[in-house]
Amino acid sequence: MQGNTARKWPDPRKRKGAMTDLLPTAGRNGDSTSTTLGRCFGGCAESCPLAGLGRCSGGTSAAPETPATARRVTVTIEGHGSASVSTEERLLVALERARGLGQITGLPRKLPVGCRRGGCGICRAQVIAGDYRRAPMSREHVSLSDEAEGVVLTCAIYAQSDLMLRLDARLPARRNCDGND
């Protein structure tokens, strides 16, 4: 599916003025063993002992900017209504808002919301149609074969076109996948 476009989404660490611009970006979705961070990220003053070692970048990062490329698309939950969402917004977070506005109704159970960061797996769903970008998500909940069938953690995808989503029991069963499958 869209798995190969993962690196194209705006990297929040590339915001103008973010001190992490100073950091190596290699290893973002892979291993970071070749990088040596060795620096303090604190908003700490000259009193920071790491400052003297040139390892303290001090200060705090700039405000997030609304990406100029944000577009609005329509996400439909099979049988339960649809919502207008931004292409730069975690899908689950957009759906939480749509539920609050009454645009999504009659779900068989409450919209499952957990960590919103791709770790806990509670927002597991299947994309039936449409394009999306992926943020990191735990292999414990989405195996490689799940991924090929469009199974996602909705908190870790960004809709890039109109999307059809399946939340119900016809989801492919969670497999006993080890971390590296």
Partner 1 sequence: MAHTGVLRPGFIQLRVLDMLAAVEHYSKRIGLHQVSEEADGRVYLKSADEFDHHSFVLRRADTAGFDLMAFKVRTDADLDAFEQRIVAYGYPVDHVPAGEQPGIGRRIGWTLASGHRIELFAHAEQSDPKPSAHNPDVWITEPHGMRARRFDHALLYGPEIEKNLEFFETVLDFRCAERLDMPDGVLAIWLTAGMKAHDIAFVKYPEPGKFHHASFELENWNDVGHAADIIARYDISIDIGPTRHGITRGQTIYFFDPSGNRNEVFTGGYTYYPDHPTRTWDHEQVGKAIFYYEREMNEAFLSVVT
- Residues within the interface to ligand FES (CB under 6 A): 92, 113-116, 118-123, 153, 155
Q: Does 102 bind partner 1 (CB under 8 A)?
A: no
Place of tokens 């999306």: 132
CB of 171 to ligand FES, least distance (A): 14
Q: Which residue, 58 or 119, is less far from ligand FES as judged by CB?
A: 119
What is the number of H-type helices and E-type strands within the chain? 2, 7
Q: Which does 23 bind (CB under 5 to 8 A by kind): partner 1, ligand FES, none?
A: partner 1
Place of tokens 């611009």: 21
Q: Does 137 bind partner 1 (CB under 8 A)?
A: yes
Q: Which residue, 48 or 115, is less far from ligand FES as judged by CB?
A: 115
Q: Which amino acid is present at 29?
A: N
Q: Which does 28 bind (CB under 5 to 8 A by kind): ligand FES, partner 1, none?
A: partner 1
- Which distant-in-sequence residues (6+ apart) come within 8 Å of 119 by Cβ? 137, 138
Q: Which residue, 85 or 153, is less far from ligand FES as judged by CB?
A: 153
Place of tokens 């909940």: 141
- How far is residue 80's CA from residue 93's CA, in Å, rounded to a whole number? 17
Q: Does 86 bind partner 1 (CB under 8 A)?
A: no
Q: Does 138 bind partner 1 (CB under 8 A)?
A: yes
- How far is residue 35's CA from residue 48's CA, in Å, rounded to a whole number? 23
First-last CA distance in the chain: 18
Place of tokens 């690196």: 7
Q: Which does 6 bind (CB under 5 to 8 A by kind): partner 1, ligand FES, none?
A: none
Interface characters, 18-37, with partner 1 (x: CB under 8 A): -xx--x-x-xxx-xxx-xxx
Contact in structure between 28 and 14 (CB atoms under 8 Å): no
Phi, psi of 129 (to 5 degrees): -155, 145
Residue ranges that bind partner 1, judged by CB under 8 A = 12-13, 19-20, 23, 25, 27-29, 31-33, 35-45, 47-50, 60-61, 64, 110, 113-120, 122, 136-140, 179-180
